[in-house]
Amino acid sequence: MRNKTFSVWIIIVAAILFALLFLIRNKTFFNNPVYINAEYSNIELASKESCLQCHNNTKGYSNYHNPDLIGCASCHLGNTKSLLKDVAHKGMILVPGNLSDAKDTCGKCHASELHKIENSLMTTNSGIVAVDKFVFGEADSLNYHYHIKDIQYTAADKHLRDLCANCHLGAEKTSYGEINQLSRGGGCNACHLNYSSEAKNDLKRYLVSNKTELPKFHPSTDIFVNDTHCFGCHSRSSRISTNYMGLQETLLDAEEVVNMENYAVLEDQRVYKHQEEDLHHAKGLLCIDCHSSHEVMGNGIKYAHEEEAVTLQCSDCHFKEKPNTIPYDSLDRESMLVFFHRDYEHTDKQIIAVEKDGHPLVNTFVDSTGNAFLIGKKDGELHELKPQSSVCSRDHAHKDVSCSACHSSWTSRCIGCHNQYDGQEPNAYDLLDKKYVKGEWKEYVAEFSSSQPALGVRVHEDKNIIEPAIPGMILTIDKGSYIGNPESDVSFHRLYAPNSPHTTTKAVRDCKSCHSNPATLGYGNGALVYDINNKKGKWIFTPEYALNPNDNLPEDAWIPFLKNVDKNVVNSTRADFRPFNVEEQKRLLRVGACLECHADNSKEMRQTLKLGMKLTLENLSDSCVLPD
């Protein structure tokens, strides 16, 4: 009896020691209990649910969404007291997680996350609606706030319903199956639903058996987001997902590229041409390696446009001197949850925090010697985060140039877009209401291509930043066709858009590609030649495309060559983003003239970076000929 008592005490002491060690290892996690709502974490109640009488021995759940812990009804609702199928299934939600039911399912445990998502641009589509309404003349500002679910049936609203209203988190997922390239929306499922190979096979057998052979493997709901979760929506519009993969959209048909190695056909039959992939994609990094939950779900604040919601900068990981960091025990509860679920162990190291808003990148750390690392969320591989090259910050001439302006290898371009309403189209589909209707807006595109991005100026109160730009909307809209009177009201717009290409490369574009490339400067493709005659220099531009009769500019241009733009003409999709003005063009082209004779890394060009252009101009050689 004495030996038995002693053994019991040994077991109790061991259990207490183990609990203490676990508590110390995760003290912040337990101080911030946000991961499970007590209402749905009662194991005794979960075990009494009638669901498991039929759906027994199922597997595949994530650790924290296991019915042994939270039951079935916390996600699927229904009547958990009845063993009769029809009664038990009454009020049940087959595909939980859509925003229409999230307050009763996911939101019961994750109320904070639901609040953020409901106000995020991925749910409201506010920026897309604002630009569309502005272009159609139904709003006088690009910055009004909207919600896609509130649009009605104006010409602009119908345009959105026909062409744009598919990609928002409020779009419901109504069928079983994994997230794929064709997926749009689905609320929480859009990011957090994962099917194992076993779950996919079980689902096939279930459907083939006319839903009589119940699946043994359940899909998992977890934080392991992959790039396919992002792809469905972010392969549209500015095509960030496809750019990141090194794919440029074409107007070719799938039949035209059969067995052609340089092309890829997506699940929706769009044909893409292979280009250089993003450096980070080549290293196996996922979208969420950089864009953490804080950015993806948002912070609960409503923003007008996506760039306002993104706080991450290249310099957060590729810092100039040393990174901005916080200790492990200062992590917020959301970050601690991610840290815990991914089984990270760098609790004794500093973690990189984004400079703009301070949110942590929990998959990073700085070791005792000051070296920074990122843990790849796809495979756990360790990537060293190298500081900025000295070239990036060696001079004042380029201090206001964004990283992506130099380090983007290419970006998509789209020109010659015509929008016309066909009121007789019998098989039109309303993307918002998910139903077939009569009549739809149709979009006809002249050309898809790619090139190094053009550059524009983001206007800030303290300083202006040079950023990439693309011809976002060079288009004609036959608004009269919507009321059955074609060509009675036709408007033309030449709007470039700020762009984050996501085609990052280690190599940078050469100096001429900025200082004497007509497309970069906003003139469009063509020949920009520096002509010297009688010791006088003059830039001459010959466009590649014909002039558009609506404004007498080349089809792909942003601005006229070395001419002032009418201040009343709107030429950007953002109120704080503009093309180079004439004085800025002249300064850029002055350097371009120097580059006609002097190589990028020549003594003379390095001197301009060190001393500035003004002092250099005061000590010109007699052989130098600058623009007149």
Mean pLDDT of 74-98: 94
Geometric angle at alpha carbon 491, from 487 and 497, rounded to 5°? 145
Q: Name the pLDDT band for 25 (thresholds 50, 70, 90).
A: very low
pLDDT digits (tens, 9 = 90+) for 485-508: 998 999 999 999 999 999 999 999
SS3 labels along 268-305:
CCCEEEECCCCHHHHCCCCHHHHCCHHHHCCCCCCCCC
SS3 labels along 490-542:
EEEEEEEEECCCCCECCCCCCCHHHHCCHHHHCCCCEEEEEEEECCEEEEEEE
Per the CB < 8 A criterion, the answer to whether 553 and 560 are in contact is yes
Q: Name the pLDDT band for 389 (thresholds 50, 70, 90).
A: confident
What is the overall mean pLDDT for the chain?
Answer: 90
Q: What is the DSSP string of 25-55?
A: HTHHHHHS--S--GGG--HHHHHT-THHHHS
pLDDT for 52: 84
Both structure tokens of 486: 């074609």
pLDDT for 233: 94
With 70 as the cut, is the pLDDT of residue 18 above it?
no
Both structure tokens of 159: 């345009």
Measured in degrees and rounded to the nearest 5, phi and psi for residue 527 equal -105, 120
Q: Which residue has the higher pLDDT, 272 or 68?
A: 272
Rounded to an integer, what is the distance from CA 297 to the centroid of its chain?
A: 12
Q: Which of 166-170, 245-249, 597-601 has the lowest mean pLDDT?
A: 597-601
Mean pLDDT of 291-312: 94
Among candidate residues 264, 233, 226, 261, the one with its CA nearest the CA of residue 247: 264
Both structure tokens of 316: 């957060």
Separation CA 37–CA 33 (nearest Å): 9
Q: Name the pLDDT band for 611 (thresholds 50, 70, 90).
A: confident
Separation CA 252–CA 260 (nearest Å): 12
CA dist 152 → 146, 157, 189, 427, 432 (Å): 12, 6, 27, 20, 10
User: At 585, is the secondary structure helix, strand, or coil?
Assistant: helix
Is residue 197 classed exposed, middle or buried when 0-12, 13-18 and 19+ CB atoms within 10 A define those classes?
exposed
pLDDT digits (tens, 9 = 90+) for 28-65: 444 444 444 444 445 455 667 899 888 888 999 998 89
Separation CA 202–CA 178 (nearest Å): 12
User: At 355, is the secondary structure helix, strand, or coil?
Assistant: coil
Gyration radius of the chain over CA positions: 29
pLDDT for 566: 86
Cα separation of the two ends of the chain: 106
Q: Name the pLDDT band for 397 (thresholds 50, 70, 90).
A: confident
pLDDT digits (tens, 9 = 90+) for 424-445: 999 999 999 999 999 999 999 9
Q: Name the pLDDT band for 395 (thresholds 50, 70, 90).
A: low
Separation CA 114–CA 99 (nearest Å): 8
Mean pLDDT of 218-238: 94
Mean pLDDT of 167-172: 94
Q: Name the pLDDT band for 619 (thresholds 50, 70, 90).
A: confident
pLDDT for 259: 87
Task: Record the pTM.
Answer: 0.90
pLDDT for 236: 87
Q: Name the pLDDT band for 604 (thresholds 50, 70, 90).
A: confident
Separation CA 175–CA 154 (nearest Å): 31
In the chain, % of residues over pLDDT 70: 92
Alpha helices in 319-359 (DSSP H): 333-341
In the chain, % of residues over pLDDT 90: 79
**CB atoms < 10 A from the CB of 435, how many?**
9
Separation CA 162–CA 428 (nearest Å): 8
Mean pLDDT of 334-356: 96
With 90 as the cut, is the pLDDT of residue 529 above it?
yes
CA dist 404 → 14, 16, 286 (Å): 55, 53, 18
pLDDT for 114: 96
Separation CA 228–CA 208 (nearest Å): 26
Q: Name the pLDDT band for 271 (thresholds 50, 70, 90).
A: very high
With 70 as the cut, is the pLDDT of residue 13 above it?
no
User: At 399, is the secondary structure helix, strand, or coil?
Assistant: coil
With 60 as the cut, is the pLDDT of residue 556 above it?
yes
